[in-house]
């Protein structure tokens, strides 16, 4: 077997050489070193585990966040001759059984799984029968961005890494210095080789435009899309807003599709396929769309509302211009946007005094047995005015915050307890005491991210410089390619390339 990764890259993948940063990461894991790679969107992160997967004798286990992304990764790996499969809830039992059998017979180079799959007892038992030579964590920023909130399984990947005893490769396109520290600590990386490429992509133009209600934002979006060529992605915050914007654009004569988690898997696949093949130029979507999609001719990404973090915004906007040609990243922002973010913050991570009041109300409602059910009218009354999903026990919301504070705990005796995603299902016991410190600390982090988004939207400084500073990268000169230093807002097109 060839021991030269460059030769393997040329022969098996058809590339003349690695992009900056890739070879260093590949050689690190081939030398059994842990590694952390922060490569720009479109920077070829998948090759960093695909090349080793072809060269090492054992299995490469890849942790990935979304089922749709997982399916794309499997298909891409197969196109370059790798034996790849996945384990996901979207598969039939026979498909999962087939993937498990192929892994057990050492017939796979790559196996893609979710972090929740790693936490399942059956999978942990399976891993004991496999030879895993590399653990790769794709979109590793999710450990910090999602692991503290609605996907706690991300915080448990490190335990699997220790059990496997093989090198761990963490990859992402966006991570602040604090997030990089969190990734290292959570995964237990030992003296990792680190590659940090610049967050500055010189072909992207950044702008924020003042906006009013959603129906006026849809018209703004239409005007912007008329002025640009190529393909476009329009991001909206909720399923309802996606449908409203899509309908508004269609009524103005712009052909487009909608994509969100409320659609069937078959419909989402159809929309993605139409977009990738160029049969539809514009997709209006929630953030469920785009992760892992490599469409080179996306000329415009518009956010009808800014996301709650700059990490998310950089990732989503960065799907523009992957071919290296000029592309536009435009966000619409209005006075009420910050209020919406603050309301979500208060509901998801209540202030300590609010948390204490909720705890007292639940203690009164629980009676001498100190046990409640999420469907009880008393629970609804005690929590009051929060979304139905959070009363049912979604892993973000007041019940989840109370659990993290030790105020309540799942009761497993009736078989309900926690689901595999960490959410609370039915019954919970109310504790006498609580510690609000974990919730207060997390609230401070989330509030800081909201502040950063607001500061980006309102800044009079160079947009690129503001983004780079957030990710820990210093830049003195203005970029000459944002609405603060080189943007013709009347035409909606870039007029300078820096």
Nearest Cα to Cα of residue 134 among 110, 109, 166, 86: 166
The phi and psi torsions of 379 (rounded to 5 degrees) equal: -65, -45
Question: What pLDDT does 229 receive?
Answer: 81
Q: Hey, how many other C-beta atoms are within 10 angstroms of the C-beta on 194?
A: 17
Show the tokens assigned to 7: 């030769």
β-strands 487-488, 371-373: how paired?
A: unpaired
Longest CA span, the chain? 72
A 10 A CB-CB count for 203 gives 16
Which two tokens mark 236?
A: 């909206």
pLDDT one digit per residue (tens) for the chain, 498 residues: 568 999 999 999 999 999 999 999 999 999 999 999 999 877 789 999 999 999 999 999 999 987 777 888 898 899 999 999 999 888 888 998 999 999 999 999 999 999 999 988 888 888 888 999 999 999 999 898 877 777 888 999 999 999 999 999 999 988 899 999 999 999 999 999 999 998 999 999 999 999 999 999 999 999 999 887 889 999 999 999 999 999 999 999 999 999 998 888 889 889 988 999 999 999 999 987 876 677 889 999 999 999 989 998 998 999 999 888 999 999 999 988 888 888 888 878 889 998 898 888 888 888 787 887 766 777 777 776 555 555 554 556 788 888 888 888 877 544 334 443 444 446 888 898 999 998 899 899 999 999 999 999 999 999 999 999 999 998 888 898 999 987 654 444 444 333
Q: Which two tokens stand for residue 73?
A: 């990764």
Tell me the whole-structure pTM to 2 decimals. 0.84
Backbone phi, psi, residue 170, to 5° = -105, 130
* Cβ(50)–Cβ(144) below 8 Å: no
């Amino acid at each position: 077997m060839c021991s030269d990764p460059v030769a393997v890259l040329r022969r098996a993948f058809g590339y003349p050489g690695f992009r900056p940063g890739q070879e260093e990461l590949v050689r690190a894991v081939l030398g059994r070193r842990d590694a952390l790679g922060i490569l720009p969107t479109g920077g070829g992160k998948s090759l960093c585990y695909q090349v080793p997967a072809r060269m090492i004798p054992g299995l490469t286990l890849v942790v990935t966040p979304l089922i749709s992304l997982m399916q794309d990764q499997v298909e891409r790996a197969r196109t370059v001759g790798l034996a790849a499969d996945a384990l996901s809830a979207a598969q039939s039992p026979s498909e999962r059984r087939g993937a498990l059998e192929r892994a057990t017979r050492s017939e796979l180079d790559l196996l893609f799984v979710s972090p929740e799959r790693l936490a399942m007892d059956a999978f942990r038992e399976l891993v004991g029968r496999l030879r895993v030579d590399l653990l790769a964590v794709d979109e590793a920023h999710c450990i910090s961005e999602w692991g503290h909130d609605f996907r706690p399984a991300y915080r448990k990947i490190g335990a699997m890494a220790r059990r496997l005893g093989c090198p761990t490769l963490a990859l992402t396109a966006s991570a602040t210095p604090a997030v990089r520290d969190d990734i290292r600590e959570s995964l237990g990386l030992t003296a990792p080789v680190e590659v940090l490429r610049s967050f500055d992509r010189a072909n992207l133009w950044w702008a924020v435009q003042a906006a009013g209600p959603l129906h006026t934002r849809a018209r703004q979006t239409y005007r912007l899309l008329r002025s640009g060529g190529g393909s476009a992605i329009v991001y909206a915050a909720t399923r309802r807003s996606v449908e409203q914007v899509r309908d508004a654009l269609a009524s103005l004569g712009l052909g487009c599709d909608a994509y969100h988690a409320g659609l069937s898997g078959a419909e989402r696949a159809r929309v993605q396929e139409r977009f990738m093949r160029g049969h539809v130029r514009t997709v209006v979507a929630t953030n469920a769309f785009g992760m892992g999609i490599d469409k080179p001719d996306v000329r415009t990404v518009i956010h009808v509302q800014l996301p709650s973090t700059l990490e998310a915004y950089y990732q989503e906007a960065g799907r523009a211009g992957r071919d290296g040609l000029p592309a536009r990243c435009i966000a619409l922002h209005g006075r009420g946007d910050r209020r919406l973010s603050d309301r979500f913050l208060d509901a998801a991570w209540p202030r300590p005094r609010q948390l204490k009041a909720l705890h007292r109300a639940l203690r009164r409602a629980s009676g001498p047995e100190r046990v409640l059910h999420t469907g009880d009218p008393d629970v609804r009354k005690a929590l009051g005015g929060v979304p139905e999903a959070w009363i049912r026990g979604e892993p973000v919301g007041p019940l989840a915050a109370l659990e993290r504070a030790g105020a309540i705990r799942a009761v497993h005796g009736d078989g309900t307890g926690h689901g595999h995603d960490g959410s609370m299902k039915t019954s919970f016991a109310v504790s006498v005491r609580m510690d609000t410190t974990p919730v207060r600390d997390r609230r401070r982090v989330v509030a800081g991210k909201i502040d950063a988004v607001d500061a980006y939207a309102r800044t009079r400084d160079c947009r690129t410089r503001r983004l780079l500073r957030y990710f820990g990268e210093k830049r003195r000169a203005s970029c000459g390619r944002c609405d603060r230093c080189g943007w013709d807002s009347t035409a909606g097109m870039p007029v300078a390339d820096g």
